[in-house]
Amino acid sequence: MRKKFMSWPSMIIQHVLGYAVCFAVAIPIWYAIVDEKDYPAYMARYDPSTFNEIKPGDVYGFLDEKSPIWKWYCIMALVGFCYFFFGSLLLSAYIIRQISKNARKFTEKTYRLHLQLSFILVVQIILPLIFVVGPLSIVFFYFVYWEQPLSSNAAYIGVTLLTVYPSTNTFITIVGVTPYRNFTTNWIMAIIHFLKRPCFGKQRIQPRSGSIVPSTTVVPH
């Protein structure tokens, strides 16, 4: 069973399913985008000052919060996330249990490394809840139920979170796994020591102790 689960066909099928889920989440939003010819009618719903930040030449768009898509989209997206979220946590718990159960089959170093990677996997499963699902839930509540247009600040915060999210995954892996942490620490310390050296690595030639430095005496005429 494990060989089939980790086989190349299995990996391909899982990736295809992953892309299918991503497209299934993204495609419905396309039908909630306001058509360009309907911009004036959409903007007329709100106070004109709401759109003061839009300058000539800016590229912008709108999502229609009154679209019937949102009534089922938010619920389906939340149900899908909960399904995969708790399923992933259960699978991670099963993996950790199996590693602990078969601890005698590993060396101490290998066993510790497997546990570190497994616990990091659990943390990485939780991160989307912090960086993606949580903020998006707030945005959808504000956008759909309060029927308020999204501001530029919300867009900036969203882009920042999406940018930090993959970096956080990498950072946690580097810090949490001992070989990665040691390798990174050694390189950082080597760079720091290199930068601390005079002239960035070039040793200054110092006169030997007791050496006589020749001098020139100027005699006035």
Of 204 and 40, the structure prediction assigns the larger pLDDT to 40
Q: How far apart are CA 30 and CA 61, in angstroms?
A: 12
pLDDT at 113: 86
Split at pLDDT 50, 70, 90, the class of 203 is low
Q: Is the distance from CB of 63 to CB of 108 less than 8 angstroms?
A: no
Mean pLDDT taken over the chain: 78
- Predicted TM-score (pTM) of the model is 0.60
HSE-up (13 A, CA, CB side) for residue 161: 16
Q: How far apart are CA 92 and CA 118, in angstroms?
A: 7
Split at pLDDT 50, 70, 90, the class of 163 is confident
Domain boundaries, the chain: 78-198
User: pLDDT tens, 88-106?
Assistant: 888 888 888 888 888 888 8
Helix ranges, the chain (H): 2-5, 8-30, 39-43, 69-101, 108-128, 134-140, 152-176, 178-196
